[in-house]
Each structure stands twice: as C-alpha cells, then as structure tokens.
Amino acid sequence: MTVDKAKLDDALAVAHLPALVAAMVHVTGDPSWLKDEWRPAYQPLTRGETGLGPEIDGQIRAACRAALIEFLAGDGKLPPPPSEATVRRMMDFVAGAPIPEGYADFAMDELAISGENSKAPHFDQPRVRENARKLKVLVIGAGMSGLLAGVRLSQAGLAFEIVDKNPEVGGTWFENTYPGCRVDNSNHMYSYSFEPNHAWPQFFSPQPELLKYFKGVADKYGLRKHIRFETLVETCVWDEAKAVWRVTLRTKDGGREAVEANAVISAVGQLNRPRYPDIEGRDSFKGPAFHSAEWRHDVDLTGKRVAVIGTGASAFQFVPEIAPKVGQLTVFMRNPPWGLPVAHYHENVPEGFKWLLHNVPYYDKWYRFFLFWTTTEGFLPMVKSDPAWNDTRAVSQVNAELREMVAQYLAAQVADRPDLVDKVVPTYPIGGKRAVLDNGVWLGALKRENVELVTEKVTKITPTGIVTADGREHEVDVLIYGTGFQASNFLSFYEVTGKDGRELHERWGGDARAYLGITVPGFPNFFIIYGPNTNIVVNGSIIFFSESAVRYIVGCLRLLAESGARAMEVKQTVHDAFNVKVDEANKGWAWGSPHVSSWYKNQFGRVSQNWPFGLIDYWRATLAPNPDDFRLERQPEPVG
C-alpha cells in the first residue's frame, strides 16, 4: 500500500505504544523490540500511558514509524510467527510486569495469536457429529449471551432455535434506551473475542452502537432464521420418560405453542427486570413516573421539575444528560457511588487509532490483551480483604490507599462546593458496591444551580411529589426511578420444572445456586448463562464469562453426543461442594464485607451474584465438563 506518512504520524501520536511494540515483533520477526528500557510502568486508574516520559516515547514512535513505512510499502508478508517463549516475553512486556507462570496457557488462549482458541467448538469425530445432529437445543434470549450460544451451536452443527420476548436482538442493549446509556467496559474488550470491531466510535460506546454491533453479529452468522421474536417462554417441564424438555411458548398474538428440545439454554441475564423501591404511596403519583430501563421518550422533560430516586450506574449516566434540559432536578441518594477516574469515558476513538487497528497486524490483539490484563486480574488485589484490617471504610492497606486516591479525586471536583464533599465521597470500601466510571460529568451535574442532591431517606410518595424523613415535601412534575434491577431473582420470567415435578424457583427458595453458575441438580440438560455467582465486580468484561460458559455448555452437548447419553445431571455433592467454596471465598472480598449492603447480596445476605476467584479459575473450570461431575442417563436398551 502507498504510505501516507501524515496519516501514519497521526496514528503514532495516539497509539498504545506497548501494544504497538509487540506488533512490531510480528511485523519484523525481531524480538529485540522488547527492550527493558521500553517496558511500560503503568499507574493505577490511567488509560495506559507508558509512564516512561516523552523522550522514551519519542524513541518508540520513531522506531515504529521506520519499521511500518518499510512494511507497508512492501509485499505485506509477515515473517514466521514468534515462538511461544517470545510470545510469553511479549505478554510480560505489554502487561508491564511478569505474568505469573500459572497464567501462561490462559493468557495464550485469550490472546489467540493463531486465530484459534479453546472456545471454538470441535465436533470432529463422525460418531459425535452424527449423534449431535439428533439433538435440538432451545435458547431463551437473543441478547449478548443468546447470540453467542447461537454462533457456537451453529459452528458445532447442532439444531437450535432462539426465542426472545423482544422484536429485535440485543437484550439489554435493545431495552435500555435512556439518555447517556453506554457500556462501562472498554469496547475493544466488550466484544466477542472472535468478532472484533475496529470501528467503535468511542472507547466506551453508547447504546445505539452496541445494538448495531449485536445486530451485525446476528446478520453475519445467519442467526435470524433461528430466532422467534416477540415470543415468551412460560414454562419448561422435563419429561423424564422421553428425556426432553417440553416448553410452552406464548406467541405475539397471545396464542400458546408447545415445543420439545433435548436441551435448554437460558440466556436471559441478570439485569433485565426493573426493581422499584418499596415506598409508601408509590402508585399515587399523578405525573409521569417510569424506571430508567423503561424510559418514556414521549415525556418531554424540558423545563419540568424532575425527581430521580436512586444513584446507581444508570442514574450516573442519565442525570448529566437531562440536567441541562430540566427546570429543576432533585436527586435522591442514600449511598454515593465510587466514581473511578476515566478521563476518556466519553471520548471518540481517534481516526489514527482505528487506522492502526485496521492496518497494523496484531496491534488489535495486543491492545485487547493490554485491556484484558490490566483491567482484570491486575485490579483484584486492590479489593481483597485483609482479615486483620479493622477500618470499615476499606478492607486492606492497598484498598485504603486506593480509596484515598479516589476520594481526593472526587473531593477535588467539588472543592468549590463544600456542602457536597461529605455527600459524594462514599464511606464504604471501593469494590463493596458496583463502581462507576467518572470523567467529571456526574459531579458537574450535581453542582448545577438547577440541581439539588437530597440524602434524606424517602419516606413517602404523594400525588404531587416526594416526602423525606425530615418532613419536607419536594413537589415535582416527573418521577424517574434509577433503582436498578431484581438481580437476585434469577430466571424470573418463566417456570422450570425438573425431575420429580420440582420447580426451580421453589428449589432455590430465593437463594439461587448453580454449579459453575451453569447447571443445577435435578434439572438435566438445562444450562444457564450468566447464572448465580458469575457476575464480576472489578475484573473485566462479562462477555469473557459468557464465552467461557458457552464453551462449557457446548462441551456438555458434545459429551452427550460422544457418550450416546440422552441426559446429564450434575451430582448434588459436586454442586454443594462448589457452593461451599464460593460462599467462603466471597467473604474475602470487599463486596462480601458484612459492613456493605448491595444488590450483589440476596435477601439472605449471601453474595449470590459474584465470582469470588480469578478469571483464570473460571477459564480452567469451564474448559470442558468432567464426566465424573455428572450422572449420565444412557439410552434404554431396545425391548426384545
């Protein structure tokens, strides 16, 4: 290609240099690029600056410029790929520190230099393929996880159907359309590992772009012909005699239809049923009242007196959007969120950065690897509890140091409003509740003259406003709930009846548990994606968990085909031992602190949401099902 040196210079000016250096090893075949003096020294809560200073950064850019001009003007052929030992050195270099030896195979798999990784299904043996073709799988949900399941089932050659209550794919990215809605995980990591998008318009793109991405995946992989839209699952009942699930569907026209499937995959997510607060008089309000997840776009907020109850992740995004438009905004907050500094949260991805992703071989993989490592396992030690620590505002010395850094950052934003300082700096540990990404717009909105932050408890809702514990009534025209979701009420949209006529929610009794968050004793061939204890707090993208879970589920279906079994059910002892470990481990993190209440905990105070180990542990646990963990029910022998 003809080298546009001005465009190249623009790209180099915005490049993530460690990822670019790693790419140069591929381009040149020379591992001497991995110079010790060029190894990055990242600082916490930054966007990945090398920390080496302008002189060293300039040296790196100049060297990369020369190498890229030569490569791009050539025939485009790459030298032989680096050895595994060299790739290990490259990982350490990009991470800015040695990656523990136990992580090597995990990191290599996630990096997927060859374009292949363990998550792609392999149904290679003729007998396996033949038996697999006899299976039919029903997937409930066409959001991120349901589409992923469809892709992998299609690749495995399995017959499947997806049903979704909505008229379009996308799940949460279809349903949530409130102003300011966007992803809070970097888009270059919040995307399928096998389907990168080099055209993300922003580093943390807004909802329409996420929906566009998932629509594109559905189209590219031919999934729409497998999807029934505007169809609700009402019941799933296990037929023990036939070893199939009988599923009752309610169609768009209100009719009911029964279908059968050998296996069911639930991909309905955790954060899809709005939670309304239990406040006296909630239904008495005469004006428009709605939840952020069910945004009323027909309600014009211009010049209105608007109240927002709740200051979780959604409110953090939509309050700054509506504050300049409304006449008066009253925000009711019980506990402030921790806002981690991310200056580029609303920034566009520079065109030069997109150019690098498109044109420099392997730059995209190494940039994703940088994001993956530095925002996942690298962050976990900061929220690990020290049993000897006795300050309820933190859970360890390093957590206290992080707390102090972020507290100063927040306090500095309201230095001109001393009345807000004590209200906006949390008293609970970082990691105890879901943190949000902050670039100043949240506190900027709270400082506006037309915005009031109220921290008194809401005691009553009247036809014309809100009454707080101090007896004050706040008259408003519109009421918006930013109160989150019924996260602990897993699979609440439908009933699941397993062996012996036992219903899943009845079995759970409000305390949902599953082996690996995927499978439950008494419910053969029933699999859950994003199930109990598979949420993450600080370490990474939920897409990683979904990809791992789908790999495991497809592995279970392969085990059925390989063994000739018609049903598989996780053993009770395996399930119970796993959950004992999970409960004990969750106590050792900030979110498990007895001094913290959050949606991570269910009505019994148990952390039913979060995975309490490293990503590597889930990756290893879901590589493939262990047949010894299951009871396999063989096909009955023919009579006579």
Residues 131-175: tens digit of each pLDDT? 899 999 999 999 999 999 999 999 999 999 999 999 999 999 999
Q: What is the CATH number of the domain that holds 217?
A: 3.50.50.60
- Does 448 lie in the same domain as 508? no
Question: Is the residue at 316 inside a domain?
Answer: yes
Question: Could you give the maximum distance between any two Cα atoms of the chain, in Å?
Answer: 88
- Of the pLDDT bands very low, low, confident and very high (cuts 50, 70, 90), residue 635 is confident
Cα dihedral 635, 638, 639, 640, rounded to 10, equals -150
Domain-located, residue 382: no
299 and 267 in a single domain? The answer is no
Residues sharing a CB contact under 8 Å with residue 321, sequence separation 6 or more, in sequence order: 179, 180
Is 189 in the same domain as 239?
yes
Tokens coding 4: 């546009």
pLDDT score recorded for residue 639: 43
Tell me, yes or no, whether 163 lies in a domain.
yes
pLDDT at 599: 85
For residue 404, give the nearest of 377, 432, 433, 425 by alpha carbon.
Answer: 425
Are both 356 and 256 inside the same structural domain?
no
What's the confidence (pLDDT) of residue 640? 39
Residue in the block written with tokens 């768009």: 252
640 inside domain: no
| pLDDT attached to residue 638 | 46
Does residue 527 contact residue 514 with C-beta atoms inside 8 Å? Answer: no
Query: Are residues 528 and 441 part of one domain?
Result: no
Assess if residue 331 is contained within a domain. yes
Give the bridge partners for 238, in sequence order: 245
| 33 and 158 assigned to the same domain | no
Q: How confident is the model at residue 636 (pLDDT cuts 50, 70, 90)?
A: low
Q: Total domain count for the chain?
A: 3
| Final residue before a domain boundary, out of 481, 514, 541 | 481
Do residues 336 and 357 share a domain?
Answer: no
Q: Average the pLDDT over each of 49-58, 65-74, 271-280, 284-293 and give the range with the smallest value.
A: 271-280
Per-residue pLDDT, averaged over 535-549, amounts to 87
3-state secondary structure 310-324: CCCHHHHHHHHHHCC
Please say if the pLDDT value at position 81 is more than 50: yes
pLDDT score of 54 more than 90: yes
Please check the confidence at residue 67 and state whether its pLDDT lies above 90: yes
pLDDT tens-digit readout, 459-489: 999 999 999 999 999 999 999 999 988 877 8
**Domain boundary residue, one of 440, 455, 481:** 481
**pLDDT (mean) for 548-574:** 97
Structure confidence by residue, pLDDT tens digits, 217-257: 999 999 999 999 999 999 999 999 999 999 999 999 999 99
For residue 450, is it within any domain? yes
Residues 372, 310 within the same domain: no
Average pLDDT, the chain: 94
Alpha-carbon span 179 to 480, nearest angstrom? 12
Is the per-residue pLDDT at 578 higher than 90? Answer: yes
Give me the pLDDT at residue 91, please.
93
Please tell me what DSSP assigns to residue 163: E
State the Cα–Cα distance between residues 292 and 308, nearest whole angstrom.
Answer: 9
Q: What is the mean pLDDT of residues 552-556?
A: 97
Looking at the fold, whether 432 and 373 belong to one and the same domain comes out as no
Boundary-marking domain end, from 431, 459, 481:
481
Same domain, 339 and 471: yes
DSSP H helical ranges for 245-362: 313-322, 351-359
Residues 54 and 24 both lie in one domain: yes
Q: Domain range for residue 581? A: 126-273+487-634
* Contacts of 27-30 spanning 24+ positions with Cβ under 8 A: 27/67, 27/68, 27/71, 27/78, 27/79, 27/360, 27/361, 27/362, 28/67, 28/71, 28/79, 29/78, 29/79, 29/80, 29/82
Task: Please check the confidence at residue 637 and state whether its pLDDT lies above 70.
Answer: no
387 found inside a domain: no
pLDDT digits over 385-439, tens only? 999 999 999 999 999 999 999 999 999 999 999 999 999 999 999 999 989 999 9
Burial of 62 (0-12, 13-18, 19+ CB in 10 A): exposed
If asked whether residues 542 and 462 sit together in one domain, one would say no
53 in any annotated domain = yes
Residues 105-108: contacts with CB within 8 Å, 24+ apart?
106/615, 106/616, 106/619, 106/620, 107/369, 107/373, 108/84
pLDDT tier for residue 539 given thresholds of 50, 70 and 90: low
Q: Report in angstroms the alpha-carbon separations of 123 from 371, 502, 555.
A: 32, 33, 9
> Listing from the earlier edge strand, what are the strands of the sheet with 478-481?
289-291, 478-481, 305-309, 328-332, 451-454
Strands 458-461 vs 465-468: parallel, antiparallel or unpaired: antiparallel
